[in-house]
Structure 1
Amino acid sequence: MSRYDSRSGDPITYRDRRSDSGFGGASAYGSSVRSSSSRRDYDGAEPSRKLDLDGLTPFEKNFYVESSSVAAMSETEVEEYRQRREITVEGRDVPKPVKSFRDVGFPDYVMQEIIKAGFVEPTAIQAQGWPMALKGRDLIGIAETGSGKTLAYLLPAIVHVNAQPILAPGDGPIVLVLAPTRELAVQIQQESAKFGASSRIKNTCIYGGVPKGPQVRDLQKGVEIVIATPGRLIDMLESHHTNLRRVTYLVLDEADRMLDMGFEPQIRKIISQVTIGSADLKANHAIRQHVDIVSESQKYNKLVKLLEDIMDGSRILIFMDTKKGCDQITRQLRMDGWPALSIHGDKSQAERDWVLSEFKAGKSPIMTATDVAARGLDVKDVKYVINYDFPGSLEDYVHRIGRTGRAGAKGTAYTFFTAANARFAKELIAILEEAGQKVSPELAVMGRGAPPPPSGHGGFRDRGRGSGGGRPWS
């Protein structure tokens, strides 16, 4: 057994890559799978998946064992080899480069693909990059086009996938590769399909400009490797067609080009979901969370009633999904006498700075904002956060309400939750319960998959009234 196969002999928890067994089996669109809860008892029926935010799936990432020939290389020999291959390295404890494919110690199923492709020796970036990637180290690689960069990260990714528990129904990918263009994403997928075929690893390519249907079906079946352009991936995440909770191997291919093309906000959003998904998703326990089941048409009247209850001059941050929504609700609030201003991506920098200064100074204690505009804002003493629109992910929910209850202060978050948000109910309940918050009967019903209650019921309870309860600003 190869050192990359140092897994338990349990054929159900870990996929047997040499057979058609295991979840998903061999598929026409090219790869295979693993799990966010261990599937030791999986018998073909979809198990009920209780969200376990404290115990996400453990994973292995260090598979590299230095061969005797590499270990025998002196520092002088290493430097001479790097100079000859024009390899420059920075960082601590950088492993020695490998000179041959056998030195890497790839398992047989990977070596068969290398031999089949007719490769003679590793390219420079492969010689130095493979030991780093197989050790599970963070790595930035710079090399020319055609230098073998794709296989430099793709072959270790295949080894990584095969060492993890198989996917359970509802799991997202294990390996995520971001690329700037559709053309590059398709090229990467072709290589992934070719080199992942022998271990039956499923992959799919997610990019814009084509119908979503086939991509959605691939994601729903379960794929271990997703190659994606940032915009379409965010679309899939916000539509809840996939998630990044199982991602433990992340690649940014042509990262400099993606930044030049203006993808930095999308990349940050994606990476935040990867890192949060790998940690505990918990809300600050100093924040009281209230969730009100409402219809879309009830939202504004509910907002006004809530403001009448809590308005005491403290800062109130209201989150909306869209820039248009921010402007419409802010305009209506001001017409009704509330001191509100909005901040979003269509505002000039000067406008944003002015709105922020008015909010910080308490001259306009109500601010509406979109997620993107609010990202990076540093405003102390926000007493209340109101989710007028529920966000596109639970990670964004935790980020939003985290604007209050900072630096040891108490805070309160109010959330309007509609039938359109029902798919988030179960995970939202888990967050509330972990933080010791009350779960309303209406939300509990939605969490069990039942239809939402008739509109007009529910409401915030035990919220406490502000001074006077009226509008001293009108």
Structure 2
Amino acid sequence: MTFADLGLAEPLLRALRDAGFTQPTPIQAKAIPHLLEDHDLIGIAQTGTGKTAAFALPILQHLMEDTTRVAPKSVRALVLAPTRELALQIGESITKMAKYTKIRHTVIFGGVGQNPQVQAIARGMDIVVATPGRLLDLINQGAVKLDTVTHLVLDEADRMLDMGFIRDVTKIIAKLPEQRQSLLFSATMPTAVAKLAKTILWEPMRVEVTPEVVTVEAIEQHVYHVPTASKRDLLENLLADPALARVVVFTRTKHGANRLAEQLGKSGFSADAIHGNKSQGARQRALAAFKSGEVRILVATDLFARGIDVAEVTHVVNYDLPNEPESYVHRIGRTGRAGRTGIAFAFCDPSEKTFLKDIERLTRVAMSVARTPGLPQPRREAPRPPQPQRRPQPRRRAA
């Protein structure tokens, strides 16, 4: 099957050819025909499966066919994403796909000044990709109107739930027209997301591809049983191999990410950290340097387990095992993308063995146990020299 077989317009096909895409991924092949026929849709898919094009291409085609002029401060299609990074990546993808159209789009997110975003939306936009918090702020200020929205996309709905955005999403949806096409994409379908889907979708088609287990099985996985005190030595030993060309290392905390990136830098490795405490500018610079190859190692927290969309990531290292097995699946999904192979390493301290069992139970994959020859042992104080033993004194009898 080709994209032409799906009934897409020539301007979109030309843009796809320019981007090097000739055959649709499974979710694109299944979703695009339904969406072109105006059905609502539930898509169960992880990042890296091509779901952005699955919803963006039909929306672009619908907007091309409808020549209605967008009013000032108004929007025709709204895409909600949980993080700034994901919103920016969706925006970049739409830019490529809309190359030969007159469709105008912009991205709205927090952490930066709002004036450029307000100015962009003032003349009206065909497509707006937004994070819920900043969009709701602009709506409350009267800078954005949603009464002309004809298409709604909720991307990474389960992640929005995890990050506490569902209330904001509900408020935004309440401002939309009832007559619209609605799409919901999620890697998992917890009860809260399923309940949300029932309230916003009308007789939706359901498309499910690349379940978590299948995705995990496509990635080569190894576990190192190593005490926490030796994890950095092990990581640096592994990084001495040039085959680890572009590596994402996940830590449990923001402070741990900063510390590890700094330590790796002192050891001569090019590394940077990305987490929620960094400014938007710093996060974008770190991600851009990683994508360009200027930085070889990106140390990240779970906030970015779905937000790092770099096709050439060769290895993922779980420096700290996550306490939620689903997070492990999303972490290692940063490698093995776009049909490439990937390798994931897990460092397991004795205190993390329970986490390892939970992960293997979820993925139904027993990780290959790797040996650590020559790994320096944790630094310990030198043992004290044995003290001379005193001879017991004979007891004296009382006179």
TM-score normalised by L of structure 2 = 0.44
Between structures 1 and 2, the one with greater strand share: 2
